[in-house]
Amino acid sequence: MGTSGDEDDADLLAALPADVAAFEAFYDRYLERVTAAAARRCSSAEDVADVVAQTFVRLLGAARRYDPAKGDPGAFVFGITANVARDLQRRRARHRALVARLSGRDLLDDDDIGRIDAAIDASRTAAQMSDALAAVPAGEAAMVRLVAGGRTPGQAAAELGISPGAGWTRLSRARTRLRARLIHPEEER
């Protein structure tokens, strides 16, 4: 479609995005009004420029959805402008909330430091415990692993197919061996 200057806005909008000349004419007709609408909704010149640019980019994708029966092209374009400005405001609000949430994580209180120290100590002890557990007889080690995994001694015994009394005995022996191994790791047992 060529732009002769007498085409109405609806015809120009219908020609988008395929007709570059139609886009240029539509852009020239609406640039100042879209800029003014964006300026009412934005707090900085950079935001206004972003909203104006995004409005015309979105217009290229949305032009085929324009229905002249639902309103004039101006209302369609200003609706896009309002949506772009709202999206920008929401994105900025999410960013501010994220920054506020993350900035509070810079400070650690004594409880946090205590938990972190405990986690470090536990990770150091885990290797020693693994070595000590490897030296315990298999039946006793299985009992310890099940109880450490959250089962009661009776449940662990049932799972291993032994009586509860035998389970308690294995657990007691394993604890004694582990304690001795962890207190005196250099001694072979």
**Average pLDDT of the segment spanning 142-170:** 89
> pLDDT for 29-48, tens place per residue?
999 999 999 999 998 999 99
Q: Is the dihedral of CA 138, 140, 146, 149 positive or negative?
A: negative
* pTM reported for the whole predicted model: 0.51
Structure tokens at 105: 């994580």
* Domain assignments of the chain as residue spans, ordered by start: 9-104, 110-183
The residue with greater pLDDT, 171 or 122, is 171
**Average pLDDT of the segment spanning 127-141:** 83
- Indicate the CATH number for domain 9-104: 1.10.1740.10
The residue with greater pLDDT, 5 or 130, is 130
d(CA 106, CA 162): 51
- pLDDT for residue 172 is more than 60: yes
Q: Are 144 and 172 in contact (CB under 8 A)?
A: no
Winning range, highest mean pLDDT, from 7-21, 122-136, 156-170: 156-170
d(CA 117, CA 189): 31
CATH topology of domain 110-183: Arc Repressor Mutant, subunit A (1.10.10)
Structure tokens at 177: 């061996």
Q: Is the dihedral of CA 55, 58, 60, 66 positive or negative?
A: negative
Mean pLDDT of the chain: 85
Q: How confident is the model at residue 107 (pLDDT cuts 50, 70, 90)?
A: low
- pLDDT for residue 2 is more than 50: no
- DSSP class of 18: T
